């Protein structure tokens, strides 16, 4: 079996205030997502959300079920969104082939049984980052490119947050039960994402940071708005963000990150906005 997983439990916001650096990293940071010839994942108790990475090099990898799912196959009661952050790769979903290039996405709905991942060139393998959430209904599979995305430009160089938001797997582009995913690209000279920050108690969220240059890093801010914490993140690492936590970051260079959400609704704009001066 080429699937490895771990489980993360949910934390109370009052308890979180007592965590030291080591504990914060243990509970929320996700590292080592891309291991050759392996499907790696973290099963989170935040909305039963799964975060994972798939790195096929010389052979096909099958997405097999894991014990916490308690199902005969992985997508029995789940949906999954996949974004390729590596070389061109192939995904076979119940005998149907989907070819994903760099920064292209695939939504796979509940009920699909056999899913295989492979790379077209082992010298430049695909790196499939994925999020999965429980699904109450089956929706059609859909391949989404950047040209298909709903694109929003926000911020400015003057405030160091000029960014392009590519809404790839959102309800304006696909149908899903609760999963949403997209990708935000910071322009050269800009480092702040999601600033001013927000929370949304109706949804949890994950951020996956990539295109972080060598020798550079991201300082991710989280926690209650009145008592924030930070955690330093390297290239191709992810962070779990509880519904009570802000989620914003600044890098020592510009970068790209993938956001994924699940929870009460599919309204991307459902956010409780915060003022920068109210942060502590």
The three-state (H, E, C) secondary structure of 231-257, written as one string: EEECCCEEEEECCCCEEEEEECCCCEE
Give the ranges where the chain is alpha helix by DSSP (H).
13-16, 21-28
Closest CA to 203 of 176, 226, 229: 176
Domains and CATH numbers, the chain: 3-278 (2.60.120.10)
Which pLDDT tens digit goes with each residue over 154-166? 999 999 999 999 9
**Which tokens sit at 196?**
């001013």
Cα-Cα-Cα-Cα dihedral of 84, 90, 91, 97, to 10°? 130
pLDDT at 1 over 60: no
Closest CA to 208 of 84, 36, 88, 109: 84
Our CA angle for 160, 82, 4, nearest 5°, is 110
pLDDT at 16 over 90: yes
| Cβ atoms of 91 and 82 closer than 8 Å | yes
Which pLDDT tens digit goes with each residue over 244-271? 999 999 999 999 999 999 998 888 888 8
Which pLDDT tens digit goes with each residue over 39-96? 999 999 999 999 999 999 999 999 999 999 999 999 999 999 999 999 999 999 999 9
User: What is the C-alpha separation between 27 and 23, in angstroms, rounded?
Assistant: 6
Buried b (16+ CB within 10 A) or exposed e, 26-65: ebbbbeebbeeebbbbbbbebbbbbbbbbbbeeeebebee
**Which tokens sit at 30?**
């996700």
């Amino acid at each position: 079996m080429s699937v490895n997983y771990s489980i993360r439990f949910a934390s109370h916001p009052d308890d979180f205030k007592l965590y030291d650096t080591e504990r914060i990293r243990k509970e929320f940071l996700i590292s080592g997502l891309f291991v050759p010839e392996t499907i790696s994942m973290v099963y989170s108790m935040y909305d039963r959300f799964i975060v994972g990475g798939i790195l096929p090099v010389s052979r096909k990898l099958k997405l097999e079920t894991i014990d916490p799912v308690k199902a005969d196959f992985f997508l029995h009661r789940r949906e999954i969104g996949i974004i390729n952050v590596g070389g061109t790769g192939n995904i076979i979903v119940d005998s149907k082939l989907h070819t994903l290039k760099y920064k292209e996405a695939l939504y796979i709905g509940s009920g699909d049984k056999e899913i295989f991942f492979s790379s077209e060139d082992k010298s430049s393998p695909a790196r499939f980052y994925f999020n999965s959430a429980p699904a109450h209904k089956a929706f059609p599979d859909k391949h989404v490119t950047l040209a298909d995305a709903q694109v929003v430009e926000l911020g400015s160089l003057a405030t160091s947050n000029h960014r392009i938001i590519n809404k790839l797997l959102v309800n304006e582009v696909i149908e899903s039960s609760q999963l949403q995913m997209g990708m935000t690209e910071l322009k050269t000279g800009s480092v702040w994402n999601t600033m001013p920050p927000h929370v949304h108690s109706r949804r949890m969220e994950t951020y996956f940071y990539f295109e972080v240059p060598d020798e550079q890093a991201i300082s991710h801010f989280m926690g209650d708005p009145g008592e924030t914490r930070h955690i330093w993140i390297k290239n191709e690492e992810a962070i779990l963000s509880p519904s009570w936590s802000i989620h914003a970051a600044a890098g020592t260079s510009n970068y790209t990150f993938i956001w994924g959400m699940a929870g009460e609704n599919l309204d991307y704009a459902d956010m409780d906005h915060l003022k920068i001066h109210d942060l502590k």
